[in-house]
A and B are shown apart, each in its own frame.
Chain A
Amino acid sequence: MNKNMCNISENVEENTEEAEMANRIFRVESDEELRPLSDVENPVLWMNENADLDDDLSFPNISNFFHRVDSSQILYETKKRRLKMIGKYVMGDLLGEGSYGKVKEMLDSENLCRRAVKILKRRKLRRIPNGEQNVESLQGMLESTSEKKFPLLQAHGYFTQLIDGLEYLHSKRIIHKDIKPGNLLLTLEGDLKISDLGVAETIDLFAKDDTCVQGQGSPAFQPPEIANGVESFPGFKVDVWSSGVTLYNITTGKYPFEGDNIYRLFESIGKGEFAVPSEIEEPLRSLLLGMLEKDPYSRFSLQQIRQHAWFMRKPPKTSKEVPIPPLQGDSLHRMTVLPYLEEHYYDFTNMEDDCSTHYITEKELNDQKKESAEHNNGKALVRQNSKRKWKKISCLTMRSFPGCKQS
């Protein structure tokens, strides 16, 4: 039974949203914060070891065998948010997880600058390709839209930045090899940043050209030469191909090559035959065809892309820009460190209405999950934000804190 309970808690961890209780928000996300209580009121009925097994099985009422526990009877204890400092950094919430480890938010306590930290686990460093989930990438934005694509103007803005970044990388003899929307991050200002150089390769300073022998990265973005297993191929053109797939993906919402499994996919890529949807008009169409050219040597170079008509001219504004989607229900992407700091600086335990509920039942948790799922579907996000307003409590005396008056 104990094991069973653990399973429940794991399920809960996977897709819990914020559980909100009396003005406080608890994020239920890891076993550190949520532990099933061992002393549930109705103790579990264990099978009597001495009893005859056959007898037990013939019992008509199965409830004597599997004791039914109502979801309102499973209790979780919410653990206090503990402020965790690593060096000068205050730790915040989880932003994403990948094959390497986790990405968490941090706050530099000296200059109050928000940061993200990638926490690598030594035993996870044996990399599993394509396991990366995305923190705040184009992928996340694409998934937040119904059509899984951007308006042309927005796509153009990201694509030109991508080519700028790639040109820089190539000038430093670096082949990224894993260009895809999931590895393109956005800053608050809307600047695109190429990330994850996990499989990147640096060409030797004395190498004759950009010849590579190894292909890594995400299968759907691999060029035909890698899919076909060619012994060596020009490396920079790999990035051109993946950028082409990326451009195809963000403008059409589809992938040029698809397959039920990696073999089918590589077979399809290897043939190099694909169709550009009819709604894609001329300058963009020829750019896509040039970047997704099967033969790496006749594939566009970055210079050719730069001089292409679609690259040089901004497409007209057709529809509204896709906004940055909310992060864990917060459309403003607020600091996740703040609640920890609040807990640290103010003693909430004295408050009557606050935090008195230290226990939360499975049923409540499910209800909250349901509610927040509904929130995420609709425009209810705004409401959630307004609810998240901080409660104003003065916790500082005048003596220790001159010049601070509570409004």
Chain B
Amino acid sequence: MTNFEEDISVYNFVSILGECFQNKASVNLVKHYPTGRMLAVKRFHLDKIWDNISIVQQEITLTKQLQHPNIITYYTSFVHGPEVFAVSPLQAFGSCKSLLDSHFNEGLPELAIILIFKDIIEAVNYLHKSGFIHRAIRASHILISASGKASLSGLHYACPLVINGRWQRAVHSFPLSTQPNLNWLSPELLEQNLKGYNEKSDIYSLGILCCELANGREPFADVDSTLMLVEKVRGCIPGLLDCTTLPSKCDDRECQGDCDIEISLSRRGFSQYLHEFCYMCLEREAKDRPSAAELLTHPVFTLVNKGISLPELLKPVLPLSDKVSPNKEMCHLDHVLHMSEMDMPSCDWDFPIS
């Protein structure tokens, strides 16, 4: 394995790929001079996140402790000036959230969802067996590499199940930093009562993730968070939008106008397996949800043939090429910051228009 130096001078900052950590940190496309490899570097400006420094610290240590092909790795991390840098392999397709926003506004194709889920559930299974609850499983925390391998990131929200050397049956913590993830969180976590929650809370988030990948947006996206809370607690179960769940076209005529999107949604159909899979994850009672290991044996995964690869399914989206030529003007860090506002969504400029 290549050794990645803890020194800023060997990395050439090419551009900003996106933002993370509630837009307080940036993900940069970086070229490693000695090897010529393209990398993704997370850059935290500590003055901006002074109240969350321990969270960054926790994310870096935890990510380094975990070793799984489907969990993001940090090659190295270091401090330079007021900033912390975390170097990780480039995930050329970006996050699932950026894919949804840029190309798949109405959701990913079913097979792509299943392929992504296979990888992510492996990661979740590993995480649970290691004694952690992720607590922030959502499309923006799922990154896809050029070869189509999905990996889980966003470990700064994770919490340990093992406290004082004891495996806890339930945990009760409700950190304020989980605010951006509220829509993905399970009812029992949101309820904050004496019952607490456990790793099954992540399974619920997987169900919401399934809806998000299939529908293009997560359920409860436009709803007051208090209403979302009441709905979840009362047992409302969101689902995949397709011909079986949406009203048929005849009904649509009555409510024309705001139903433009739904017509195309109501034509498509997801397989019964995927519906079932999603429904299982979203059971109101944690004990009724399957564990990550049980989910891996779900028949939904028999739907994908060996020959199909994720990059194939994601066409026309192309991965970020390794051969991006570093733009000399962009090398200045100040410049990069200015430019970030302009080419925020993704690096479309690099793609040949066919």
Residues of A within 8 A of B (CB): 90, 107, 109-114, 187-189, 324, 331-335, 338, 341-342, 345, 390-392, 394, 396, 398-399, 401-407
Contact = CB atoms under 8 A, between A and B. Distances in A.
A402 B219 CA distance: 7
B62 to A, nearest CB: 20
B326 interface: no
A390 B182 contact: no
B229 A112 contact: yes
Interface of B: 171-174, 176, 178-179, 182, 190-196, 211, 215, 217-221, 223-227, 229-231, 233-239, 241, 245-247, 255, 258-259, 262, 284
B234 to A, nearest CB: 4
B268 to A, nearest CB: 14
A394 B235 CA distance: 10
Contact of B192 (A109, A113, A398, A402): A113
Given A399-B259, A404-B238, A407-B235, A188 B217 contact: no
28 contacts: A111-B179, A113-B176, A113-B192, A188-B172, A188-B196, A189-B173, A332-B194, A333-B193, A335-B192, A335-B193, A338-B233, A341-B226, A342-B230, A390-B235, A391-B234, A402-B219, A403-B211, A403-B220, A403-B221, A403-B239, A404-B219, A404-B238, A404-B239, A405-B236, A405-B237, A405-B238, A406-B237, A407-B284
Contacts of B233: 338, 390
A188 B194 contact: yes
Contact of B220 (A114, A333, A404): A404
A187 B211 contact: no
Contact of B172 (A90, A187, A342, A405): A187
A403 B171 CA distance: 29
Nearest to B212: A403
Contacts of B234: 342, 390-392
A398 B238 contact: no
A403 B211 CA distance: 8
A401 B174 contact: no
Contacts of A345: 226-227, 230
B192 A403 contact: no
A62 B271 CA distance: 80
B235 A110 contact: no
Nearest to B284: A407
Given A113-B174, A399-B258, A341 B227 contact: yes
A111 B192 CA distance: 12
Contacts of B217: 402-403
A6 to B, nearest CB: 36
A31 to B, nearest CB: 27
A322 to B, nearest CB: 14
- Name which of A332, A342, A396, A398 has the most chain B CB atoms within 10 A of its CB: A398
A153 to B, nearest CB: 14
Given A109-B225, A189-B172, A407 B230 contact: no
Given A107-B226, A341-B230, 8 more contacts: A111-B225, A187-B172, A188-B193, A332-B195, A345-B227, A404-B219, A404-B220, A405-B245
Chain B interface secondary structure, helix, strand, loop or mixed? Answer: loop
B189 to A, nearest CB: 10
Contacts of B221: 403
Contacts of B182: 111-112
A109 B234 CA distance: 18
B219 A334 contact: no
Contacts of A390: 233-235
A109 B258 contact: no
Nearest to A396: B231
A112 B187 CA distance: 12
Nearest to B178: A111
- Name which of A111, A332, A338, A391 has the most chain B CB atoms within 10 A of its CB: A111
Contact of A109 (B172, B224, B245): B224
Contacts of A188: 172, 192-194, 196
B235 A332 contact: no
Contacts of A407: 235-237, 284
A112 B238 contact: no
Nearest to B174: A113
Contacts of A398: 246-247
Contacts of B193: 188, 332-335
A333 B219 contact: no
Given A390-B235, A399-B259, A406-B236, A110 B192 contact: no
B262 to A, nearest CB: 8
A403 B238 contact: yes
Contacts of B218: 403
Closest 6 CB pairs of A and B: A403-B219, A188-B172, A405-B239, A111-B179, A390-B234, A332-B193
A403 B172 contact: no
Contacts of A399: 255, 258-259
Contacts of B245: 405
Contacts of B235: 390, 392, 407
Contacts of B230: 338, 341-342, 345
A107 B182 CA distance: 14
A17 B235 CA distance: 27
A402 B258 CA distance: 12
Contacts of A335: 191-193
- Name which of B221, B234, B238, B246 has the most chain A CB atoms within 10 A of its CB: B234
B169 to A, nearest CB: 12
Contact of A403 (B196, B241, B258): B241
B229 to A, nearest CB: 6
A372 to B, nearest CB: 20
Contacts of B246: 398
B327 to A, nearest CB: 40
A114 B245 CA distance: 35
A390 B217 CA distance: 27
A407 B237 CA distance: 6
